[in-house]
Structure 1
């Protein structure tokens, strides 16, 4: 009986009406926010904030409806209005409420109503709190990733067709899929090998640790383009979806095909696409087909990560920009190429008419939500030793493109350089998962494993990098470092000597280990004869004081070594990492000195960006 009266009381106080109106209004508001905010390029957190505030407002609306009532005389408390209603009822109709009040049952009923309403309110608050907690616990590239997918290189089925268009369609599709936080998309550098290797889909899926595989073909015929794509369940080698797209060959139609492919695949996988992700998927960055061809060719060259290919990639990106000055991704990835040229000392950066930061700023002006531009900015800030800004930009890149392997790998590296080796290890594992066959995705995580006291895992990763790209000199330099750490001195010497023969111009870059010094140190450890020639320390660059100090430590001259370490004024990558984590045998004596703590503080200050 009381429950029936409570239900009637809720209706009388318009609680149901307020709840219904609020729920409908809230739903419409959230849809508008999710649609409009990305268009206005407002930050993603603003969508979440307003959604949370709307949810929090719901129980307060119910409390207001229960406690107050809107009357011709204004807002009155429900108790006041109740008395008026009771008086009218008693005088005019003589209903049962007056009798109940006279018998003393009305206060008991009112107390029951209040308790029941409080219970309902607590349940609503708990449910809302759980929803908000789930909403806030979602991380870009993290907990919402449910399905794993790899897009294999599309095949050009006509020898007269442009392979750059084919690779561009694959790259564009992967970029759009990578923008969906519900998917884990394997990087293109790990799928490229399957262009020339014929294997069962089930085996490919096992090697890449993915559930789904996308394959396709591209054909150009006169002014037409035909794209065929298929979605295959990897473990069963079962095709679950296929579609042909035939359009006139224009850049706009190519982007339309990529967009439609992305939505079709996400739909088949029942993966939710947020409003912000939808905006990223629908982007059409270029209006010029030639610009798009040059861009796609530049991306293919940059992926090779060789000196010649990186230098050549700049020409293609510059051509693309000349054809279409508003081509934001071309500006962003041009910046990445320019950064690597300076980073590895491949050429005189002053020979180029544009700087990396100018290219990045142009890209962000054209598209503030371009993940590639934020990643390039993060890499640039790293080379400037601005750790916090590098991390901020790289996190923004991952937020916009949750399967962005390059950004994950740089986060791994920058966290290591800024002293957060536990966080570095997290991103190292993510990098390997997203790109198991990319040499850089094995090489740089190996440094994180070594810093975290896992030398065997570090050795395993760097050896895998060597198997993938056996002519990369930096691989042998880091392999030698890990072997030296593991007291495998003969192997370390061989690796350092191989690195010396392969690195060439990179030897003069402060970002590559001084392998010639490491050759000398390793020979000392093996009691080999010292190599001819003495170093004139007066001629050493400031950052090379570290390597001279390391050599003096190997010779047992710890006082002289300490003076060299104290004279380091440029804490580039290797002095930073080595002082923090590596060479325990050579640096243990110095690490016991008070000067060591001072140097660590100087390193942290040098990488703080201040």
Structure 2
């Protein structure tokens, strides 16, 4: 296949790999070829639109002859299949007929395959290229394309570096940061990251050399000095402090109490038993939950710490990744009818053990909970944490006396944490089994309510004769009113019924009872977003990720909240982080596409949405019609209006009034949009967020109309509100 390489000095190679210099001898041929290949929107070009671009000083007849001659040379060099005609006036490139480094680069960037993209980026687009007797419009277009490719390449270096930083692979991070700096020598951000990477890798000398070289460059080129932040970092390096370095973390982790002395992670306990009955998981979860109820402790969620079973990472490294000072480690062993638990408290920055103890009792549910309470008390005493008056008077409860019910509940929670279809159904069955053994087990009722709520949320069918989530969660609260998990489950159930005030009340109650309960925080953030309180949602959402930094679901929730606050770049970053944590979590592709659209990266957004489509069901969130509608938005932005018009015929407005309303708005059919919006029967999470916050350009005219105010009132009423909250 013919190769066309234009990222750098242009070269064309034939199927034997030999250079084809004859075509490049005519610079205007290359200019025309590049324009036909890269001009957006991609597709057909009218001949009469090309004439003034490339032959501005020729009459039309001469210019047409010149164009025909150029097209002949393109076909001769790249093959007859490289050009396609539509009628006599339209032509387009057929990229499948040859290979192009520029198109490969764009495709790899869209897939976030940054490393392969950068392999083909030799230098700026058509570096050193010049053509005379051509229009200024073409010159401007070429310069913008150079800048676009250059920016994509620089950002790819930065994204690769960020990925390696998250893996604590500082050597590779530094490699890509140096490449990025070659592309953008003025970037203080890249220089700062490079200095940090070298510092974390133990090479302060090299980090200081980077700073000194950058300072000289700024002085020589711009007569400026680096910004205060990078100067301060360099000053700290020069002092050669012995402080354990902290790698950069996500913005959502940078809170006022970062690196709090009472931040703790309970790492998964190792099961040393010959038979794996999952008591280690249950005991680990019980201790974690007991500690999360202490207001002066900041406890990392189970979902995040489960990533560290039998890890070879050092305590200092785990502490930095989770942003905690203390780690609780342990082993559980069942020997016959005896349960033995050994735990250690480690000061993460110094990787030093400060306390350890072994607990041994007869294996009963009662004794497991007694050990849980003893461990929690010993940790509080070691860390010199005082309980609040209310915490001192709170009654200590042992959830169940049935050991098998306890085991089934533990397995159910582990299954539910997967957030997959199989995991939810398996969790539901396990919770049912636990309740059959102990009908008064409040935690099992709470788990059962969550399983029902998640099935409803994801549009999955409920088993026959299922109870409503509100009934099940209310049963949990009735059995134990002081259980934060039960109140959170009830809040989730109310959310499913769009009872905003009741849901918010339950989430706040859950946080009041369990101040480190991450699940309650993220749901409280989401319900605030649904009720029109975007700013309040953001504060709570960012806090939730601090408690559960390695959960893809939490990252996606926070991404959606960021979008609602018009923080589109932050929303994209959270969606990408979710995909890094779990590439199989399909919802990430949808939110990533939504973020990319709002950043005007329409081709990349379309690529992400296409990945979502196979997972979108007719009644899921988002539904298939809703995903297709967003794809229509992308196609429309890229110049293809027909795709969305055809979609109108496919989507039945009576069944899918909201996607139809979006399509009407896209095509400036305001009255038709409002007619469709009037037919929306249920304002769920997707439609609510879209109407309140997203697509400011497409919905600008709708939001100025007085009918929009009435619509918001209708949505508020649907969510149990009397009036709109901005």
Q: In the TM superposition, what whole-angstrom CA distance separates every residue of 1:102-128 from its partner, at most 9, and x where no partner exists?
A: xxxxxxxxxxxxxxxxxxxxxxxxxxx
Q: What is the distance in 1 between the residues matched to 2:274 and 2:635?
A: 54
> Is residue 256 from structure 1 mapped to residue 367 from structure 2 by the alignment?
no
Residue 555 of structure 1 deviates from its aligned partner by 2.6
Q: In the TM superposition, what whole-angstrom CA distance separates every residue of 1:429-454 from its partner, at most 9, and x where no partner exists?
A: 10111111011111111122222232
Residue 508 of structure 1 deviates from its aligned partner by 1.6
Q: Assess if the C-alpha contact under 8 Å between 1:473 and 1:499 holds in 2.
A: yes
Q: Assess if the C-alpha contact under 8 Å between 1:331 and 1:359 holds in 2.
A: yes
Residue 142 of structure 1 deviates from its aligned partner by 11
The structure having more radius of gyration, on CA atoms, is 1
Residue 203 of structure 1 deviates from its aligned partner by 0.3
Q: Secondary structure at the match of 2:356?
A: strand
> Is residue 332 from structure 1 mapped to residue 446 from structure 2 by the alignment?
yes
- Could you tell me which residue of structure 2 aligns to residue 227 of structure 1? 341
- Could you tell me which residue of structure 2 aligns to residue 398 of structure 1? 511
Q: Secondary structure at the match of 2:505?
A: helix
The within-5 A match list for 1:528-607 is 528=640, 530=643, 534-535=648-649, 540-541=654-655, 544-607=656-719
Residue 561 of structure 1 deviates from its aligned partner by 2.1
Residue 324 of structure 1 deviates from its aligned partner by 1.0
Q: Secondary structure at the match of 2:353?
A: strand
Q: 1:509 to 1:397 in 2, by over 3 A?
A: same
> Is residue 469 from structure 1 mapped to residue 582 from structure 2 by the alignment?
yes
Q: Secondary structure at the match of 1:195?
A: coil
Find 1:193's aligned residue among 307, 312, 322.
307
- Could you tell me which residue of structure 2 aligns to residue 508 of structure 1? 619
> Is residue 456 from structure 1 mapped to residue 569 from structure 2 by the alignment?
yes
Find 2:629's aligned residue among 499, 517, 532.
517
- Could you tell me which residue of structure 1 aligns to residue 270 of structure 2? 155
Residue 594 of structure 1 deviates from its aligned partner by 1.2
Q: 1:512 to 1:375 in 2, by over 3 A?
A: farther
The within-5 A match list for 1:308-387 is 308-349=422-463, 351-387=464-500
Count, aligned residues: 464
Find 2:358's aligned residue among 244, 251, 268.
244
Q: 1:420 to 1:176 in 2, by over 3 A?
A: same
- Could you tell me which residue of structure 2 aligns to residue 526 of structure 1? 638
The within-5 A match list for 1:165-314 is 165-195=279-309, 197-278=311-392, 282-314=396-428
Q: What is the distance in 1 between the residues matched to 2:529 and 2:319?
A: 31
Q: Secondary structure at the match of 2:698?
A: helix
Q: Which has the higher helix share?
A: 1
Worse overlay, 522-531 or 284-293: 522-531
Q: Assess if the C-alpha contact under 8 Å between 1:371 and 1:401 holds in 2.
A: yes
- Structure 1 stretches lacking a partner, 5+ long: 1-140
Q: 1:358 to 1:560 in 2, by over 3 A?
A: closer
- Could you tell me which residue of structure 2 aligns to residue 422 of structure 1? 535
- Could you tell me which residue of structure 2 aligns to residue 121 of structure 1? none
Q: 1:280 to 1:286 in 2, by over 3 A?
A: farther
Q: Secondary structure at the match of 1:203?
A: helix
Residue 151 of structure 1 deviates from its aligned partner by 0.3
Q: 1:365 to 1:401 in 2, by over 3 A?
A: same
Q: Assess if the C-alpha contact under 8 Å between 1:398 and 1:407 holds in 2.
A: yes
Q: Assess if the C-alpha contact under 8 Å between 2:332 and 2:341 holds in 1.
A: yes
- Could you tell me which residue of structure 2 aligns to residue 411 of structure 1? 524
Q: Assess if the C-alpha contact under 8 Å between 1:179 and 1:400 holds in 2.
A: yes
Q: Assess if the C-alpha contact under 8 Å between 2:653 and 2:660 holds in 1.
A: no
Q: Assess if the C-alpha contact under 8 Å between 1:524 and 1:555 holds in 2.
A: no
Q: What is the distance in 2 between the residues matched to 1:352 and 1:193?
A: 36
Worse overlay, 287-296 or 361-370: 361-370
Q: Secondary structure at the match of 2:306?
A: helix
Q: Assess if the C-alpha contact under 8 Å between 1:343 and 1:511 holds in 2.
A: no
Q: 1:546 to 1:533 in 2, by over 3 A?
A: closer
Q: What is the distance in 1 between the residues matched to 2:274 and 2:292?
A: 30
Q: What is the distance in 1 between the residues matched to 2:582 and 2:658?
A: 29
Worse overlay, 222-231 or 474-483: 474-483
Question: Larger relative CO (CA 8 A, sep 6+): 1 or 2?
Answer: 1
Q: Assess if the C-alpha contact under 8 Å between 1:416 and 1:448 holds in 2.
A: yes
Residue 337 of structure 1 deviates from its aligned partner by 0.6
Residue 309 of structure 1 deviates from its aligned partner by 0.5
Q: In the TM superposition, what whole-angstrom CA distance separates every residue of 1:312-361 from its partner, at most 9, and x where no partner exists?
A: 00111111111111111111111011111122122235x14433223222
Q: What is the distance in 2 between the residues matched to 1:259 and 1:323?
A: 24
Find 1:438's aligned residue among 542, 548, 551.
551
Q: Assess if the C-alpha contact under 8 Å between 1:251 and 1:287 holds in 2.
A: yes
Q: CA RMSD in A?
A: 2.2
Q: 1:287 to 1:263 in 2, by over 3 A?
A: same
TM-score (norm 1): 0.73
- Structure 2 stretches lacking a partner, 5+ long: 1-254
Q: Assess if the C-alpha contact under 8 Å between 1:446 and 1:458 holds in 2.
A: yes
